[in-house]
Amino acid sequence: MIAAVVVCLTAALSGQTPDTGTIVGRVRLRSKLGGAALASTAYPARSVSSARPNLLPEIKNVVVYVKDTAYRGVLAPRRAAMNQEHETFVPHVLAVTRGSTIEFPNDDPIYHNVFSLSSAATFNLGRYPTGQSRRQTMTKTGIVKVYCQIHSHMSATILVFDHPYFTIPEMDGAFEIPGLPAGDYTVVGWHERVGERTAALHVERGRPTSIELSLPVDEQP
């Protein structure tokens, strides 16, 4: 009896139940190989600018998620923020559930105008000055490319999911996706300059399943 209680408590603390499993792993970024260009699902940028370096390392622009899975639970919307600072969206990549609301605070001493023409979300938040914030609720799943109508070099990406099985890796590339029913899954490592890199695995009840994903992404200079 005591052992059963310990097992249930350990599972609860780790974010899973004895009836579910967890995917644990690490994303490794490697240098691009020579030859033909890699296939990509990234939307083309409106312009290219090297004036501002990324404020976060490339590993924080990776999203790991389970592909084509049905979720039978209640989808909990989230609240997240994508700040505008130094004429850059920070973070550059967000991942949220459908129904989540994104705040876009303006921390620059200039006006910004956040908008998107993506099929998953089309909006224009209008011009607003430093210290103000506008928000947008993501009602559809998919990839939402975000820009500033005033500063064409500003861009960001929001991935919207209809399940909770996704995450952005830690600084060392480690990640964990808990609460998955036992079964076979396809795990995706996504980056806007690479697209999807997939791997198949089997999740067992009450135990972690390990995986390593490798993405050919160079750090931006």
Q: What is the pLDDT of residues 140-172, one digit of tens each?
A: 999 999 999 999 999 999 999 999 999 999 999
Residues 107 and 215 both lie in one domain: no
Q: Is 131 left (phi over 0), alpha (psi -120 to 50) or beta?
A: left
The residue-averaged pLDDT of 49-70 equals 79
- Assess contact for 220 and 60: CB atoms under 8 A: no
The tokens of 87 are what? 């004429």
* CATH code where residue 25 lies: 2.60.40.1120
- Assess contact for 60 and 219: CB atoms under 8 A: no
DSSP string, 108-140: SSS-EEEEEEETTEEEEEEEE-TT-EEEEE--S
146 lies in some domain: yes
The pTM of this model reads: 0.82
Domain boundary among 162, 178, 203: 162
Q: How confident is the model at residue 54 (pLDDT cuts 50, 70, 90)?
A: very low
Q: Mean pLDDT for the chain?
A: 85
Residues 175 and 147 both lie in one domain: no
Half-sphere exposure of residue 213: CA atoms within 13 angstroms, side-chain side = 33
pLDDT of residue 145: 98
Using DSSP, state whether 184 is helix, strand or coil. strand
Place of tokens 């995917």: 23
The tokens of 17 are what? 């139940």
Segments forming the whole domain that contains residue 29: 15-69+165-221
The answer to whether the bond into 91 is cis (omega within 30° of 0) is yes
Q: How confident is the model at residue 177 (pLDDT cuts 50, 70, 90)?
A: very high
Residues 193 and 212 both lie in one domain: yes
